[in-house]
Structure 1
């Protein structure tokens, strides 16, 4: 175990599990992660390897004996009849039979129904009535001569979820972790390796948890396929339900007026709509109208009676186009069905997760470290719904008066949710609070900026906040930084259907023709780049400042590992593009020797030297192992010093060995880490 895993086990004994064990025990059992981790938490919530091995065997045996596979349902029914009684793990739903005045259970995988269940059990576990619950149940078989009597008897039922937890102990233990450690613990808890994500990407993942800890939170995430958008809502918590966007009706979601039965929003903390995007989808307009009212007023009507509910709503769907294409031709909501492509509906959204920033899930992204048993974390999040942290930033910051009440609500709810997740004890530094506030503002701004494209009646809003000194600090979205010309266009359709283009007030119009290339004007400047920003390359950052140099010195202590040496090779490629074929350039690298693979490092440098010399680049290097070099910079003999706070290591992890991904071959398609560059004339 690494240092963080040791700390996790020390302060949360018995409440954490090694995350790679889920795959080990799952096999072909189609059960949510929280079901498996519930079992693992019973037998494997330890750091002792021998106990873990024994626990895994126990869990596998429980699944083998008791989990019901659909294709083996007949065999299990026969086994119950033979033995008279058997314990099973299945998803159980309950309906009320009005004619008989009885509750009847249906076992999804076992394939039996009309099993009598007592009213007290149903009252205790109301979610059995809506969507069903995964349970461990004892089933008996007792045939009767009366054909109207069900031969199956439910003798006991236990929902698979945590029965109790100590919130105060959770809060006390949280204070033993730094913010970064706590974030990494949470990322491991949802199954990912935190080393594969930057801070912004980690916050994006954690935004997905807010619907579980914040009442009536409305969240949307649109992005490419394969980024794990629906995983949190189908696998993570027994308090959330994932439904297909096309399968929901007014009675199922809100209330059935014929029998008065309350729908999903009355029983679940989070209702998520999968496959929400798709222009071709047919949507009931009455459903959209009720959703609009519920999302803003937290209520819906049943005839003359008005009912309230606390369920958060999440909408996830796939996009078909790139971000610049959507911004140029329409907007970031363009994939939604027509009935949902409604400014009044979209204005109810509190945060838009930019799914295009989320990496497609790969095998190496999953965690092998320790994290909370997800059912434990789910209960913690649920208890936090009773708290309100939305005012915790007001001691240090205030929102711009330009921001409307609805925008403020979205910002405040997102900020409150992030505070609950990261700082349940309520104590955060000014810097941490500012980071969360900016992130919350950005997510709401993304919604509002697109609304101003869709509906011209929305006025321009300046999303900013004020510090204690009164200075106004503007907030931008990342795609606004990447594609400013496209981002600030407004799409207007003329009377004859012709698409007209206009601009938002004080914005630049997208030029109809790209400007003719001009020789870059070099000047002293300081540039800052956000995490996940794309469109950045060494050619863009460094190329113009390397042109014409005969001697270049690169100081970077971290040119040791293979990917770091590859970064340096790509730096030389940029240099080769800039120099004339009849010129020679000398490049000297000052770095540190790898403690474990120094010989391999030298061998790689020799290969680079040989390859570069054929193109007129004379490469030399030296190792400074004194530990005194920390600053990373590039100095040229024609008067420029480029200071890079991350050196050449500005890109996030990408598939380096996959020759068929553009991120491997073209730097501008790789997401960046957050970094800064300063150009100084010497």
Structure 2
């Protein structure tokens, strides 16, 4: 019989409701998989297949797992050994990310024989049967993790993909997922979401405010074209969830970003990251540099506004990819931002262009999230990361949540962009916290609308300090939950 526990994390309830879609989150940290560079959404899949159970791994389980990892997961320095084996006619099986690309012939026509790429082995021209691609069309986008069988049957032929078994959860029954929500209280469900992300919801440092802003990191996954920035001191785990939740989410660490990388490669005609992924994360944007800034900022502003971009000589590319920018911020002795009136003061110059800043949905106040410590790691039963990521991403195209927000939100004197941003964030919080849409107006105001307002208020504050035009309206955004007549 399923029951709700009101006082502690409901481990048994999670197991009863989600069955094989959940996992004891203490398994992964004790496995060594993460330190081997294996993302959580793959690591948890491997654990459940090879050493199912609960609690930290035993010495015999660790030994079994380590043997499997050494055989199945190639490291960078294994490249040449694997290539040598293939050159000698041996079959090699490994677990890795694989992508497929369609080549252009010199005359500009499309080659009917696509090629597979395996980045970890630096193999870029593997032949692959068409039926494998047809069965796994996500290979043509951001790629898919799975068990790959490789062979080179003739020395004058490229390496061939003989077989492929995908690992990622490919389909989620959203109606069933929403029905699961009814077994939990609002507080229990929020804690389940935190735990599934990899955070310990019972850690004393995570008060309700901190939990809200950690969950806000999921908004770009559940909402299409959701563009946001998080400002936080080092060590709050800004990039943690994005690195581990899905191959449909990609993270670009600080340094140089090129137009070819983001938009489209002028030489190969290959679509860039914004056209391939559901979420692109630019980390450490405070140190971001561009070879040719105008070639990036202009198309990027267009993309933030319309969901389309182009480079000269190419047709428009449409995408619903969300863009997340993560930046470090300095705090004062009270752990508040040093320049609270203009939070983007120390970021690259283009953030101060109001036409750019106004196109962002909001700013996540990462300074309100405690530093990530070892004891803050999830140790309860949560959703498996691959299922969790797919469930969130599957909600992107469901308009019921935006319709609910639009029907139950009343605005004061605000701009159209303010309204659109707040409705988008409120819709996202609904998807994360109330996927069954079973809530009261008070729930909506407290858990969805007010956090959405705060996210946008940080943008409004900076715009207010940067440009007189934005002082024509009140500084504070007024918004409330209401029951509008149909």
TM-score, normalised on structure 2?
0.86
The equivalent residue for 1:75 is 81
| C-alpha spacing 1:399/1:39, structure 2 compared with 1 (3 Å) | same
Measure, in 2, the Cα distance between the counterparts of 1:186 and 1:430: 22
Measure, in 1, the Cα distance between the counterparts of 2:154 and 2:267: 35
| C-alpha spacing 1:466/1:15, structure 2 compared with 1 (3 Å) | closer
Structure with more of its chain in strand, by fraction: 1
Q: For residues 461-511 of structure 1, give each alpha carbon's deviation from its aligned partner in whole angstroms, at most 9, with x where no partner exists.
A: 3311246599xxxxxxxxxxxxxxxxxxxxxxxxxxxxxxxxxxxxxxxxx
Contact 1:171 1:424 in 2 (8 A): yes
> 1:267 is matched with which residue: 270, 273, 276?
276
The equivalent residue for 2:454 is 442
The equivalent residue for 1:644 is none
Query: What is the DSSP-based 3-state SS (H/G/I as helix, E as strand, rest coil) of the residue aligned with 1:327?
Result: coil
> 1:276 is matched with which residue: 273, 279, 285?
285
Measure, in 2, the Cα distance between the counterparts of 1:55 and 1:350: 46
The equivalent residue for 1:156 is 163
Measure, in 1, the Cα distance between the counterparts of 2:221 and 2:178: 18
The equivalent residue for 1:464 is 478
The equivalent residue for 1:306 is 316
Larger gyration radius, structure 1 or structure 2: 1
The equivalent residue for 1:420 is 431
> 1:353 is matched with which residue: 333, 339, 364?
364
The equivalent residue for 2:221 is 212
| C-alpha spacing 1:449/1:124, structure 2 compared with 1 (3 Å) | farther
The equivalent residue for 1:507 is none
TM-score, normalised on structure 1?
0.63
| C-alpha spacing 1:96/1:166, structure 2 compared with 1 (3 Å) | closer
Flag the structure with more relative contact order, 1 or 2, with Cα contacts below 8 A and sequence separation at least 6: 2
Q: CA RMSD in A?
A: 3.0
Contact 2:254 2:288 in 1 (8 A): no
Measure, in 2, the Cα distance between the counterparts of 1:19 and 1:235: 13
- The reply on whether 1:98 has 2:79 as its aligned counterpart is no
> 1:240 is matched with which residue: 249, 255, 258?
249
| C-alpha spacing 1:393/1:153, structure 2 compared with 1 (3 Å) | closer
Contact 1:9 1:16 in 2 (8 A): yes
Measure, in 1, the Cα distance between the counterparts of 2:140 and 2:261: 11
Structure with more of its chain in helix, by fraction: 2
Contact 1:90 1:135 in 2 (8 A): yes
| Structure 1 segment 263-342 matched on structure 2, within 5 A | 263-278=272-287, 284-301=293-310, 303=313, 305-322=315-332, 326-327=338-339, 331-342=342-353
The equivalent residue for 1:231 is 240
Question: Displacement of 1:368 after TM fit?
Answer: 1.2
Question: Displacement of 1:243 after TM fit?
Answer: 1.3
The equivalent residue for 1:13 is 19
- The reply on whether 1:454 has 2:446 as its aligned counterpart is no
| C-alpha spacing 1:295/1:80, structure 2 compared with 1 (3 Å) | same
> 1:135 is matched with which residue: 146, 150, 171?
146
The equivalent residue for 1:408 is 419
- Equivalenced residue count is 463
The equivalent residue for 2:394 is 383
Contact 2:30 2:57 in 1 (8 A): no
> 1:202 is matched with which residue: 203, 211, 214?
211
Measure, in 2, the Cα distance between the counterparts of 1:235 and 1:457: 41
